[in-house]
């Protein structure tokens, strides 16, 4: 079975009205089971749900709804997340992506799978191959290498990396309404660099369709919306080396936000090799300590935060401009730089 890839984000966010007092909102990844917030839903205050979704802590803040309505909405959200996990989760042997990776083809794929692959192809092109969902064989190579050699401080051999890179090329993933298929045996997909964002967007879409006018969603990526265009969300980027230190705070309105960093998942005990692979070279050491992206969709923010970690600043700027995204880099010396 393919080893699933996980990431940890170091972000703290607060919701504020354009004219009014702030409402605190701190993300925690330590919640073990779903809980509902206590107390009545006061005017202007959200109904809050905290729980587990997509393998880590999740949180919803719903404004302008009663508690009974919020419970119904939360159940619909969780059903939607469960439905999409059955498509995209590498944690599940019975998911469609796991079946595709085992068999090399998947007949009659659902529209969500095709839609996410289409978005991925667009980002793959914009990032000149830095974002490549066919990275899974490289992940497996590194994971198996360090599982067998937990004390080693060296990566897999150049030969094994070179051979594995022959299986990494998103252009060799063919898909249409009839079938998704790999051009070579041994290829595999991981959509973990974009699926959380896509699912976040789908949750926002569902809530809007159900009549929710304001909400803050954390499904691994952050999305805040307000149909009246009054509420702003203050997003704080934390120091990767000191979680209690905030480097900067950014105002977000009807947008999504994602942060990636190599520190989130390391492959070796020394923390030298990370999960942020360069699909073009096979390396696993990102250029920056962390990468934060604000964009109109969570899928774009998610994918960009993954790809930009291994791209130079000029290439980042060019791709970001196309999607009207804003980017913040934490440099190796901990300097914060905006692009």
Lookup result for tokens 């393919």: 2
Over range 49-66, report the average pLDDT: 87
**302 belongs to an annotated ligand binding site:** yes
- pLDDT computed for residue 260 by the predictor: 86
Q: Which of 12-26, 33-47, 166-180 has the lowest mean pLDDT?
A: 12-26
- Cβ(220)–Cβ(54) under 8 Å? yes
Instruction: Enter the pTM of the model.
Output: 0.86
- State residue 10's pLDDT score: 33
Higher per-residue confidence, 86 vs 146: 86
Measured between its terminal Cα atoms, the distance across the chain in Å is: 39
Residue with tokens 């600043």: 313
Establish how many alpha carbons lie within 13 A of residue 295's alpha carbon, considering only the half-sphere containing its beta carbon: 26
Q: Which residues contact 288 (CB under 8 A, 6 or more apart)?
A: 261, 308, 309, 329, 330, 331, 332
CA 2 to each of CA 111, 187, 258: distance values in angstroms, whole numbers, following the listed order: 24, 11, 25
Reported for 43-50, long-range contacts at CB under 8 A and 24+ positions apart, including other chains, are 44/17, 44/20, 46/15, 46/215, 46/216, 49/74
Taking the C-alpha atoms of residue 191 and residue 27, their distance in angstroms, rounded to an integer, is 23
Task: Reply yes or no on whether the pLDDT at 22 is more than 60.
Answer: no
> What is the tens place of the pLDDT at every residue in 267-278?
667 667 777 889
pLDDT category, 57, cuts 50, 70, 90?
A: confident
Helices marked H in the chain — which ranges? 67-88, 96-103, 111-126, 136-148, 158-165, 195-209, 298-307, 313-322
Least confident of 50-54, 249-253, 267-271: 267-271
Share of residues in the chain with pLDDT > 70 (%) = 84
Which of the 8 DSSP states describes residue 93?
Answer: T
Burial class of residue 276 in the structure, from the number of CB atoms within 10 Å of its CB (0-12 exposed, 13-18 middle, 19+ buried): buried
Mean pLDDT, range 2-31, rounded to an integer: 32
Q: How far is CA 320 from CA 44, 65, 171, in A?
A: 35, 35, 22
The answer to which of 21-35, 228-242, 267-281 has the lowest mean pLDDT is: 21-35
pLDDT digit string, tens, across residues 302-327: 999 999 999 999 999 999 999 999 99
Q: Is 193 annotated as a binding residue?
A: yes
For residue range 150-182, list pLDDT tens digits in order.
888 888 999 999 999 999 999 999 999 999 999
Residue with structure tokens 């809980």? Answer: 35
pLDDT at 107 over 90: yes
pLDDT at 4: 38
Q: What is the mean pLDDT of residues 34-51?
A: 56
Confidence of residue 200 (pLDDT cuts 50, 70, 90): very high
Average pLDDT, the chain: 85
Please determine, for residue 14, whether its predicted confidence score (pLDDT) is greater than 80: no
pLDDT for residue 264: 60
Contact 288, 331 (CB under 8 A): yes
pLDDT band at 263 (very low <50, low <70, confident <90, very high): low
């Amino acid at each position: 079975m393919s080893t699933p890839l996980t990431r940890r984000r170091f972000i703290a966010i607060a919701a504020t009205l354009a004219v009014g007092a702030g409402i605190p909102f701190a993300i925690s990844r330590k919640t073990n089971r779903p809980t509902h917030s206590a107390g009545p839903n006061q005017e202007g205050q959200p109904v809050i749900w905290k729980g587990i979704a997509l393998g880590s802590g999740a949180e919803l803040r719903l404004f302008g709804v009663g508690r009974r309505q919020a419970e119904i909405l939360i159940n619909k959200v969780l059903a939607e997340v469960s439905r999409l996990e059955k498509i995209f989760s590498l944690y599940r042997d019975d998911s469609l992506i796991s079946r595709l990776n085992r068999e090399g083809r998947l007949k009659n794929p659902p529209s969500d799978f095709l839609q996410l692959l289409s978005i991925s192809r667009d980002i793959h092109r914009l990032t000149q191959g830095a974002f490549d969902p066919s990275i899974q064989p490289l992940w497996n190579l590194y994971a198996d290498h360090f599982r067998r050699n937990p004390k080693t401080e060296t990566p897999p051999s150049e030969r094994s990396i070179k051979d594995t890179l022959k299986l990494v090329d998103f252009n060799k993933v063919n898909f249409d309404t009839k079938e998704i298929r790999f051009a070579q045996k041994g290829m595999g997909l991981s959509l973990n660099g974009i699926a959380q964002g896509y699912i976040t967007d789908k949750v926002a879409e569902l809530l809007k369709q159900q009549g929710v006018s304001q909400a803050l969603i954390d499904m691994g990526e952050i999305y805040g919306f307000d149909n009246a265009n009054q509420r702003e969300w203050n997003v704080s980027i934390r120091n990767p080396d000191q979680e209690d230190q905030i480097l900067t705070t950014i105002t977000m309105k009807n947008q999504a936000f994602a942060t990636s960093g190599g520190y989130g998942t390391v492959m070796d005990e020394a923390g030298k090799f990370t999960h942020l692979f360069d699909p073009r070279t096979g390396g696993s050491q990102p250029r920056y300590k962390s990468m934060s992206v604000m964009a109109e969709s969570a899928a774009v923010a998610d994918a960009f935060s993954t790809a930009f970690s291994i791209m130079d600043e000029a290439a980042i700027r060019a791709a970001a401009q196309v999607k009207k995204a804003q980017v913040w880099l934490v440099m190796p010396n901990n300097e914060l730089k905006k692009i």
